[in-house]
Chains A and B, each alone.
Chain A
């Protein structure tokens, strides 16, 4: 860890420079941080507070738990009620509400739900108990997809027939395109609508895999600047300054800049990309808030379909609601979800505290929508770090 990127003096100088630029521009600027880890870093480090009234930072669709569709979540939870079946998940998914409960509640009711850090740990668990079925919830962006691919190959190499996954990986560039397409048509017809996002803080980890060039369409097709950056306060402030300067510059000069060269290359990580391509292929995917976007998800290629839990368990008739309390019970929480504005938060249309449920019907203790569940969710970050600021 390099402490220069947390240096308070350096950061203080950047905040001053940004404020000076905004003063020259004569109006505040609205940017979007795409990645949930940036959302947390911005709230936790106090950057949002330091840029109050100058730069508004809206959270984007880059929190994997938040954008996973309700249908996928209900299916994942129902898996935990299957007999002789272990659900393997990253910790963030445990408390996401489904139709009648969460994975955490399924575990308390006797289901076997285990938290892991790496998909390969799941393969090891399956190898240790060959008579049990193990289903890995393959959630996450381009960052976790190579690990999933590696796990599938390892399970195949070991000849395991009790390891499958629920494929729910998503890809970031497709989501950004979907986010921007309606905004552009709105702008061209001059039909008002919410004020536009003027630039993007692009994710550091995802970019390490896909590379800088993957975002060139932002400038080429939409005339918007983007900056790839890391997660330390100075990284984020450098990106904000770069984006503000880009907004100030005359039209036409917009580009996608890599301010995270210590991790991110032009073309990304070729080995990770190849691994992902070998096992997974693009598919249409349903995003909370954005709807179904073509080629925005990753699913198992035909030759690896034996590892697809959705196909395996659906074929066995294993997911009928009669067998699964999570699918058959009351829909009360799902009804609550309809009042939830996670979708608008994920598209940057409203800030988290503008949702009518924020801090009232929806808190981290009893979250209604996933943006309040995941620690990387915009609502959870606002609630945990900035609640009293909003209350003032």
Chain B
């Protein structure tokens, strides 16, 4: 019998197939079909002509408290960031809590306090919620589901259809920190690293960029589960372009590299929780980098380009590629399932 395995939830090829074969198959509609971070819904009949962005996300992280954040912060920023990369200003959240019998009352209070702080920082309110307690063993401590609503920033038109050869790929800072922090926390205290999650809200800085640069910004996505590499694959697929990531240009902290070597992981596939991949027109890119730097994101960097047909990548065709530090070129692909520690 075919069953769901953990690999179906890892954000790679298995997840993508599952979503298409089961959920898209049954729920098919034009809003869902885009499979983007948020659905953008048309304005209602009221006086406001603003489109709405809507998104939802479930948070099941282990451990619940980790260096640089906790499940509550993640539940707010994760959803807020999905709205922000759709070009929306986040406004309201709902939050549902699934709590395992026996969970410490004080820990729940700590998570809620952290969510409230995060919501204030992101400029949103939690306006509805639900609480369920399940028998011991039916969930792992605490699961949180948040949904978010935001208003589209006027004049924004983000679409992979606008991505053209010559456009630049910009990341707003170092990658791999959240995924590495979680993996290290799972190894226990004696693993001895100090990597902290990059968990933080993107809405403020993205609104500045969208207002300042307008159509110069073509496409945005937060490289969470599946990491930067998977996001570049998604970009290449939805834009139908040849997209080249430059390994040398991707900022990866030394401690993240070191932990990845120890654990047999590839930092390009590790989750981020405060990063955004921006596709910008080449003429908008210098100003984009300056604005990011002004916002304190001083590790922001151009990490790749949409290749032109004249360049050396001309003959490779549409798809995602990595130019390695040595100057070799390789295919970038989704992971099949989870990254697996290797044997030797």
Contacts and interface: CB of A to CB of B under 8 A. Distances in A.
Interface residues of A, number: 52
B343 A12 contact: no
Given A108-B5, A365-B336, A37 B342 contact: yes
A47 B257 CA distance: 20
B331 A47 contact: no
A64 B327 contact: no
B14 interface: yes
Contacts of A205: 344
A94 interface: yes
Contact of B7 (A43, A92, A95, A388): A95
Contacts of A90: 341-343
Nearest to A49: B328
B29 interface: no
Nearest to B4: A108
Nearest to B326: A11
B341 A8 contact: no
Given A1-B258, A11-B326, A46-B328, A115 B341 contact: yes
Interface stretch (A138-146, A213-221, A286-294, A313-321): A138-146
Nearest to B14: A365
B330 A49 contact: yes
A262 interface: no
Contact of B325 (A65, A108, A233): A233
B342 A108 contact: no
B3 A388 contact: no
Contacts of A109: 1, 3
B5 A104 contact: yes
B7 A140 contact: no
B340 interface: yes
Nearest to B316: A388
Contacts of B248: 8
A140 B316 contact: no
B: interface residue count bin: 35 or more
Interface stretch (A250-258, A337-345, A379-387): A379-387
Interface in A196-253: 205-206, 233
A43 B330 contact: yes
Contact of A92 (B5, B187, B340): B340
B337 A95 contact: yes
Contacts of B333: 383-385, 387
B261 interface: yes
Contacts of B159: none
Contacts of B325: 6, 8, 11, 45, 233
A376 B330 contact: no
A8 B327 contact: yes
Contact of B342 (A44, A375, A383, A386): A375
Contacts of A50: 326-328
B43 interface: no
Contacts of A383: 333
A1 B331 CA distance: 25
A91 interface: yes
A50 B3 CA distance: 42
A384 B331 contact: yes
B21 interface: no
B17 interface: yes
Contacts of B3: 105, 108-109
Contacts of B263: 117
A206 B330 contact: no
Of listed B4, B319, B321, B344, residue having the most chain A CB within 10 A:
B344
A226 B147 CA distance: 59
B342 A91 contact: yes
B43 to A, nearest CB: 41
Contacts of B323: 46
A90 to B, nearest CB: 4
A369 interface: no
27 contacts: A8-B326, A11-B325, A11-B326, A15-B326, A44-B266, A44-B324, A45-B324, A47-B328, A50-B327, A64-B343, A65-B343, A94-B340, A95-B336, A104-B6, A108-B5, A108-B6, A117-B187, A141-B344, A364-B336, A365-B14, A374-B342, A375-B342, A384-B333, A388-B316, A389-B330, A389-B331, A392-B316
Given A43-B330, A90-B341, A104-B337, 19 more contacts: A8-B325, A12-B327, A44-B324, A45-B328, A46-B324, A46-B326, A92-B340, A92-B342, A104-B5, A104-B6, A107-B6, A109-B3, A115-B341, A365-B13, A365-B14, A365-B17, A375-B339, A376-B343, A388-B321
Interface of A: 1, 6, 8, 11-12, 15, 36-37, 43-50, 64-65, 90-95, 104-105, 107-109, 115, 117, 139-141, 143-144, 205-206, 233, 364-365, 374-376, 383-389, 392
